[in-house]
Chain A
Amino acid sequence: MSLIAQLLIYGVLAAAIFSLVAVGFYLIFSIVRFFHFAHAAVFTCGAYSVFLLNARCGLPLFFAILVAVVLCSLLGCAMYLAVYRPLRRKGTSSLILLLASLGLYAVFQNLISLAFGDDTKTIRTGAVTEGMNLLGARITSIQVTIVCFSIALVVGVWIFLKRTKIGMVMRAVADDLELARVSGIDSDRIILWTFAISSALAGIAGILVAFDTDMTPTMGLNVLLMGVVAVIIGGSGSIPGVALGALFLGLAQHLGVWGISSQWQDAIAFIILLAFLLVRPEGVLGKRVTKATV
């Protein structure tokens, strides 16, 4: 019984992280219409910024985290301004943007490796605790924090999109770019907001993960890919869809390896992804992604 509870907890934990990354990725995809893989580097940047500011520069942890999140937002916006915007201005296809984002990821991940080394770094302080008991399984306080934060942030973003003026404009742009532009919406500003919010979410996710399991320069790509899977299986149509996808993925990964070794988690995630792409490409809640016809 407690094994299932433990796996459930791990699953929810994974889902929490995936959803933070997935929501940001989804926002950028739905508003700017391409796959921003360099989002993985922003995630990693969050963790390492805290490391730099706190462990290396001695800034108090709280401030280090704040500054780190802001830095991540800025990084995302910088990527847009320096690379994606000029490319979009030329009318290039989303595949070229995808390739550029892959290049950006390679550059930034390796910059982090160069600056900090490939070995594991930590921002955790204090002893590794056993954690509390929940339904016969163990969960640490940081893990509880992760889940609570994620829920709060995802709900927060959802409300932001539904209630605030900027949020509504973002949804308008996501629904119909042409119409939005024709109605005089400054798409540049909206896109910057999108990158800022998404990158902040990614940075926070990176920091949270670092508090739970330390950091390495390559930590981002895998999490991002899981986020992508979550977006696709949840249905690229809405935030609840993405969150649902993340939950399903987290649970499937952890419960699915019950009986098989946990190393197969990635493979399972991607087999699920392929299944969805082939059988139900629009995901659980979303819109069609199949080939355009005449």
Chain B
Amino acid sequence: MSEALLKVDSLSKSFNGVHALADFSCRLQRSEILGLIGPNGAGKTTLFNIVTGFVTPERGKVSMKSNNITGLAPHRLANHGIARTFQDLRLIRQLSVLDNVLLSFRDQPGEKLGNVFFRSKKSREHEKRNCQEAIRLLAGAGIAEKAGDPAENLSYGQQKLLSLVCCLAAKAEVLLLDEPVAGIAPEMKEKILGMIRDLPAKGKSVILIEHDLDAVMQTCDRLVFMDAGSEVSEGAPQEVRNDPKVIEAYID
């Protein structure tokens, strides 16, 4: 059993007296797609928020490659090899599609104030390389021709695709995707799921929150079913789906 890439141990968090997470633990292996399913309010997005540093847990630990990363600031975690999308689809709509992708690259010298004026040649070259990489990623996603358009001009589905491309630009090892295919047309859904399925082969691991069970069954290697902040069931997709506890939770 290889060492898990990302480990979450006994996380607990309440908001206004409601337990969003109750002693929740979970592992993410390398090159694995883990699906996180469960009813609304089960704590899935809270888990993402804690792992990415936007929320501090009351108890528990998050570690990545054996380093304790609990409670670090979001931007530091983002530079630690973690990238995420948001349930409410966050993008910088006023900027171009290309700019959104460029923004998502980490460790850009041009982002340091000093380098804007000194060593600008190095920044420019780095930016140029990022630009080429960004176009390549956008082409891989099939939206390269939209590169110059403001992100707000894209359709909803294309915007979701763009947020996935932004995660790829981050060159993150761990991708946390919050409902990446919710509310979009079947074609686009398939395209995005296909891209997600390709990620383990590139050495990336994914935790996927989705309500679409078919999508989850096709895409994930393993599932965790959550309800009321705790894990109800865990295992291969078929196992979890047929688990009587899961069926019961859905009926409730």
Contacts and interface: CB of A to CB of B under 8 A. Distances in A.
Whether A and B are associated in the same complex: the answer reads yes
B81 to A, nearest CB: 20
Nearest to B45: A294
A114 B194 CA distance: 70
Nearest to B46: A294
Contacts of A293: 49, 54-55
A54 B54 CA distance: 60
B76 to A, nearest CB: 16
Contacts of B54: 293-294
Contacts of A294: 45, 49, 54-55, 86
Interface in B67-121: 86
Interface in B13-51: 45, 49
Contacts, number: 8
Nearest to A294: B54
A88 to B, nearest CB: 22
Interface residues of A, number: 2
Interface in B187-235: none
Nearest to A293: B54
A237 B55 CA distance: 25
Interface string A70-103: 0000000000000000000000000000000000
Contacts of B49: 293-294
B13 to A, nearest CB: 13
A237 to B, nearest CB: 16
Contacts of B55: 293-294
Interface string A257-294: 00000000000000000000000000000000000011
Interface in A113-157: none
Contacts of B86: 294
A294 B86 CA distance: 9
B57 to A, nearest CB: 14
A53 to B, nearest CB: 51
A5 B54 CA distance: 51
Contacts of B45: 294
A293 B90 CA distance: 13
A294 B50 CA distance: 11
A294 B54 CA distance: 7
Nearest to B48: A294
A293 B54 CA distance: 7
A293 B49 CA distance: 10
A197 to B, nearest CB: 32
B214 to A, nearest CB: 28
B88 to A, nearest CB: 9
A293 B74 CA distance: 11
A270 to B, nearest CB: 30
Nearest to B87: A294
Interface string A162-198: 0000000000000000000000000000000000000
A128 B45 CA distance: 68
A294 B89 CA distance: 11
B85 to A, nearest CB: 12
A293 B53 CA distance: 11
Nearest to B53: A294
A294 B55 CA distance: 8
A294 B49 CA distance: 7
A278 B165 CA distance: 38
A231 to B, nearest CB: 25
A61 B216 CA distance: 78
A7 to B, nearest CB: 42
B89 to A, nearest CB: 13
A293 B46 CA distance: 12
A289 B54 CA distance: 17
A294 B56 CA distance: 12
A294 to B, nearest CB: 4
A253 B86 CA distance: 47
Interface in B127-171: none
A50 B55 CA distance: 55
7 contacts: A293-B54, A293-B55, A294-B45, A294-B49, A294-B54, A294-B55, A294-B86
Interface of B: 45, 49, 54-55, 86
Closest 7 CB pairs of A and B: A294-B54, A294-B49, A293-B54, A293-B55, A294-B86, A294-B55, A293-B49
Given A293-B49, A294-B45, A294-B54, 5 more contacts: A293-B54, A293-B55, A294-B49, A294-B55, A294-B86
